[in-house]
Homo-oligomer: A and B are copies of this chain.
């Protein structure tokens, strides 16, 4: 909190830094995290949500061999006539090994995924065969099959990816599908960037831990829990340092004792314009800038280095904290490291009109509905944490837009 005297003017909004410029500043601050010294090689089972350091060329083709797309008969299409052809039934193609070559004039029973024998170039589904079920093995059976073009129901070797082709680019964030691709290529472990270590500190004499008594004038700390969860969900390695009082010396001591091995220190609160905000005071003499970003909520921000450790000072309201994480820290880390993944912008139509300040990028909270509309939850105030908890999306109103009507299209980010 702030002692209220010597309070400077709130910055006039058009002098504030743009959202894009502040994302760039945070990315510049965190750029050294993209370092060879911060990589590690982990098995696929531990790589979820991490970013690949190097791109991969496919070491094998997928599929590794031409195989059948159906249960049916492998044939040589050159053996077929337009009006149906009778074949001798060959031995079934075995699963998981190279089958013997197909003799001309024969059709080999083959299951989905099995390797096409040399000499075969098409598969006839069992449903189109006469008879339309497989004979018992070892019997001297014959089958009549309709004319089938070469390539029919065959998955060619390399039709998903050919050996030597680019499989994944460096910086790819590894989700289930990307890890599945690496496994399919036979790669058991990958070099990824280490999880980013965050020291997270809530500040304020008025803030108490959940579970404690709540004296008059005090509030429970929501920021620590909210940001820890958002960061953990994004794959960051968060250490909570609890709540610091408004004594700058205490905050400095806490940051020095717990922050030395952090990749980034994040505080909440104490960054407003007053001369006695605790985070501003604790950062005196350090290369830290306090500024206004042209965003609502989340305008007041601190950025710089504390004792050589990258530092971000977020504002004190819970909604501002989450918006700051999603608007600045997530995109900056995505730009520098490839992970966490960016939020995907989705188009939606407003269910209600809204107004927004001329010179600020407003971030509202809302519920994206299955019909493609988005319903705003709560007002624009940054203290509405229940409204946030009832939302599934952030709704963007860019700077320069002052009002929107019901039905107007907006960009939303799903949380």
Question: Which residues of chain B come closer than 8 Å to A214, judged between CB atoms?
Answer: 60, 64, 186
Known pairs A214-B64, A347-B372; A160 contacts B228 (CB<8 A): no
A160 to B379, CA, bound (A): 10
Most buried by B among A180, A181, A246, A411: A180
A408 within 8 A of B: no
A101 within 8 A of B: no
A318 to B249, CA, bound (A): 56
Contact, CB under 8 Å: A10 / B71: yes
Contact, CB under 8 Å: A273 / B71: yes
Question: Which residues of chain B come closer than 8 Å to A159, judged between CB atoms?
Answer: 384
Known pairs A177-B388, A224-B183; A126 contacts B372 (CB<8 A): no
Contact, CB under 8 Å: B98 / A161: no
A165 to B142, CA, bound (A): 75
Contact, CB under 8 Å: B96 / A383: no
Contact among B45, B99, B183, B189 with A217 in the assembled complex (CB-CB below 8 Å)? B99
Contact, CB under 8 Å: B155 / A5: no
A20 within 8 A of B: no
Contact among B44, B49, B219, B222 with A180 in the assembled complex (CB-CB below 8 Å)? B222
In the assembled complex, how far is the CB of residue A240 from the closest CB belonging to chain B, in whole angstroms? 7
Contact among B176, B224, B389 with A168 in the assembled complex (CB-CB below 8 Å)? B389
Contact, CB under 8 Å: A176 / B233: yes
A387 to B8, CA, bound (A): 56
Known pairs A204-B95, A222-B183, A346-B368; A217 contacts B115 (CB<8 A): yes
Known pairs A48-B229, A180-B225, A220-B183; A161 contacts B386 (CB<8 A): yes
A385 within 8 A of B: yes
User: Could you say which of A130-138, A256-264, A288-296, A302-310 contacts chain B?
Assistant: A130-138
Question: Which residues of chain B come closer than 8 Å to A45, judged between CB atoms?
Answer: 225, 228-229, 240
In the assembled complex, how far is the CB of residue A160 from the closest CB belonging to chain B, in whole angstroms? 5
Q: Could you mark each residue 223-262 of chain A with 1 if its beta carbon is under 8 Å from any beta carbon of chain B, else 0? A: 1111111101100000010000010000000000000000
A372 to B349, CA, bound (A): 12
Contact among B136, B204, B215, B383 with A160 in the assembled complex (CB-CB below 8 Å)? B383
A334 within 8 A of B: no
The quantity of this chain's copies bound in the complex is 2
Q: Could you mark each residue 39-57 of chain A with 1 if its beta carbon is under 8 Å from any beta carbon of chain B, else 0? A: 0000011001100000000
How many residues of A are in contact with the other chain, CB < 8 A? 125
Contact, CB under 8 Å: B95 / A206: yes
Contact, CB under 8 Å: A216 / B183: no
Known pairs A109-B5, A180-B222; A10 contacts B127 (CB<8 A): yes
A111 within 8 A of B: yes
A96 to B2, CA, bound (A): 11
Contact among B94, B176, B371, B391 with A347 in the assembled complex (CB-CB below 8 Å)? B371
Nearest 3 pairs of A and B residues by beta carbon: A180-B226, A96-B206, A1-B95
A407 to B228, CA, bound (A): 41
Question: Which residues of chain B come closer than 8 Å to A370, judged between CB atoms?
Answer: 345, 411
